[in-house]
């Protein structure tokens, strides 16, 4: 018999790996029993190998826990609904409806801004991956939102925040590109993670500000209250205490300093606080704040001018007037382009 001649040369390892041998050990039947008893009386030299192989097989029998039928049915009907919906949604219009039904748990509070209702663009990161929602705040605008877990998020100008629509139960995670202020709802058993291009922030129920624009070489986090820790790509983990600012500089090195958090978080209350900032830094912040481009004549000469201002208004003109009061200059507003000229000795009017 072929099978028998095969088994004659079998070692312990071979028997363990043989499907029908294991089948006999795990669920013996009368037929299998008589076959193996026969075999052993014919080849008594195989007896000890078979015995050992049997013990090995017997000692790796796995018991699987039974499935929870109710939860299985719930999961099945979820995916069945999902595939039906996917087949149904064909046009862009129905796709948008789909998004809305998915974000029912996320309430959005539009912010009144410069007399116009802020208009946010909602759409999927990838329309085919249905379980992520991306919030995009255009330049010059701001928004805030309440996540399903109760966490409040303020989004600054030019920011994109990606959140999972259904969310893991074990991790709350958002991906940020831009600037945002978080008031994270306390939930000790479910940590909150903010991922940016440079680092990830692990949150223990707390308020903090993160700024990490894709086009900026530096990223920073400012902690107002609570505890956070910042983890970079190199697995370096830095714990922060309130009042600290963590700056990741252009060489991707961390620099921790003590600051007044309100200077960095005031934007969420529509207040722009400038504390002894150089003109060229101020210009970058104003460009974000108002969503404009600022061009300064002979910038090198005036870039080190320092400003300390608190602006509560949203009007660009008032801001410029205030700056003009500190150090006089001429300005011209041409749509989104603003031209500044500090060279007052030159009396030629700006073109």
| Phi, psi torsion values for 245, nearest 5 degrees | -120, 125
Please state the φ and ψ torsions of residue 337, each to the nearest 5 degrees: -105, 130
Interaction residues for other proteins, span 109-168 (CB under 8 A) = 128-131, 166, 168
Q: Which residues pair with 311 in a beta bridge?
A: 272
Judged by CB under 8 A, the residue of 4, 51, 236, 269 near other proteins is 51
> Closest distance between other proteins and the C-beta of residue 73, in Å?
10
Among 6, 8, 20, 78, binds other proteins (CB under 8 A): 78
**Which range in 64-72, 176-184, 240-248, 313-321 contacts other proteins by CB under 8 A?**
64-72
The least distance separating other proteins from the CB of residue 87, rounded to whole angstroms, comes to 5
Residue whose entry in the numeric block shows the structure tokens 């291009």: 197
95 counts as binding other proteins under rule CB under 8 A: no
**Is residue 62 a contact residue for other proteins (CB under 8 A)?**
yes
**# residues contacting other proteins (CB under 8 A):** 54
- Residue 41 belongs to what H/E stretch? helix 30-42
Backbone angles phi, psi at 19, to 5 degrees: -60, -45
Query: CB neighbours (10 Å) of residue 19?
Result: 7
Q: Are 221 and 202 in contact (CB under 8 A)?
A: no
Cβ burial of 120 (10 Å; 0-12, 13-18, 19+) is: middle
Of the residues 170, 234, 276, 347, which one makes contact with other proteins according to CB under 8 A: 170
Q: Is 264 in the site for other proteins (CB under 8 A)?
A: no
Q: Which residues contact 277 (CB under 8 A, 6 or more apart)?
A: 285, 306, 307, 308
Q: Do residues 291 and 141 make contact, with C-beta atoms less than 8 angstroms apart?
A: yes
Q: Binding other proteins by CB under 8 A: which of 8, 17, 257, 262?
A: 17
Identify which range of 110-118, 170-178, 210-218, 302-310 contacts other proteins by CB under 8 A: 170-178
> Per rule CB under 8 A, is residue 29 in the interface with other proteins?
no
Candidate residues 35, 43, 56, 152; the one interacting with other proteins per rule CB under 8 A? 56
Q: Residue-wise over 227-248: b if at least 16 C-beta within 10 A, else e?
A: ebbbebeeeeebebeeebbbbb
Would you give the DSSP letter of residue 142? Answer: -
69 vs 251, beta carbon nearer other proteins: 69
Q: How far is the CB of 246 from other proteins (least distance, A)?
A: 16
Choose which of 87, 91, 101, 276 interacts with other proteins (CB under 8 A).
87
Of the pair 25, 137, the CB lying nearest other proteins is at 25
Residues in contact with 51: Cβ distance below 8 Å, sequence separation at least 6, in sequence order: none
Give the list of residues 6+ apart from residue 297 with CB closer than 8 angstroms, or none.
339, 340, 341, 342, 343
Tell me the closest approach of the beta carbon of residue 221 to other proteins, in angstroms: 15
- Half-sphere exposure for 42 (CA within 13 Å, toward CB): 11
Among 83, 105, 327, 333, the residue binding other proteins under the rule CB under 8 A is 83
Residue 55 is a binding residue for other proteins (CB under 8 A): yes
Within 10 A of 74 (CB to CB), how many other CB atoms are there? 10
Distance CA 174, CA 342 (A): 43
Which parts of this chain interact with other proteins (CB under 8 A)?
12-13, 16-17, 22, 25, 28, 33, 36-37, 40, 47, 51-52, 54-56, 58-65, 67, 71-72, 75-76, 78-80, 82-84, 86-87, 128-131, 166, 168-171, 173, 191, 193, 200, 202, 231, 235
């Amino acid at each position: 018999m072929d099978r028998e001649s095969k088994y004659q040369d079998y070692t312990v390892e071979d028997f363990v790996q043989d499907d029908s041998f294991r089948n006999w050990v795990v669920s013996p039947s009368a037929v299998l029993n008589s076959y193996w008893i026969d075999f052993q009386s014919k080849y008594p030299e195989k007896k000890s190998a078979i015995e050992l192989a049997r013990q090995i097989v017997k000692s790796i029998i796995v018991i699987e826990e039974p499935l929870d039928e109710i939860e299985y049915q719930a999961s099945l009907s979820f995916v069945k609904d999902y595939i039906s919906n996917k087949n149904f949604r064909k046009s862009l219009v129905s796709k948008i409806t789909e998004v809305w039904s998915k974000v029912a748990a996320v309430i959005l509070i539009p912010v009144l801004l410069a007399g116009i209702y802020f208009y946010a663009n909602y759409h999927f990161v990838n329309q085919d991956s249905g379980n992520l929602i991306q919030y995009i705040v255009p330049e010059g605008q701001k928004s805030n939102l309440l996540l399903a877990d109760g966490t409040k998020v303020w989004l600054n100008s030019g920011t994109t925040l990606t959140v999972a629509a259904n969310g893991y139960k074990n991790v709350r995670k958002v991906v940020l590109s831009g600037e945002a202020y978080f008031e994270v709802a306390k939930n000790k058993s479910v940590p909150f993670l903010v991922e940016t291009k440079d680092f990830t922030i692990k949150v223990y129920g707390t308020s903090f500000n993160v700024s990490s624009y894709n086009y900026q070489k530096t990223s920073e986090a400012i902690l107002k209250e609570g505890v956070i820790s910042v983890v970079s790509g190199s697995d370096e983990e830095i714990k922060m205490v309130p009042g600290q600012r963590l700056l990741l500089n252009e060489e991707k090195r961390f620099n921790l300093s003590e600051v007044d958090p309100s200077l960095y978080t005031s934007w969420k209350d529509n207040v722009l606080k400038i504390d002894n900032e150089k003109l060229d830094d101020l210009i970058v912040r104003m460009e974000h704040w108002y969503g404009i481009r600022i061009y300064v004549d002979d910038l090198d000469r005036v870039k080190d001018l320092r400003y300390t201002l608190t602006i509560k208004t949203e009007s660009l003109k008032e801001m410029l007037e205030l700056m003009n009061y500190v150090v006089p200059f001429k300005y011209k507003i041409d749509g989104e382009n603003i031209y500044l000229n500090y060279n007052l000795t030159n009396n030629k009017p700006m073109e």
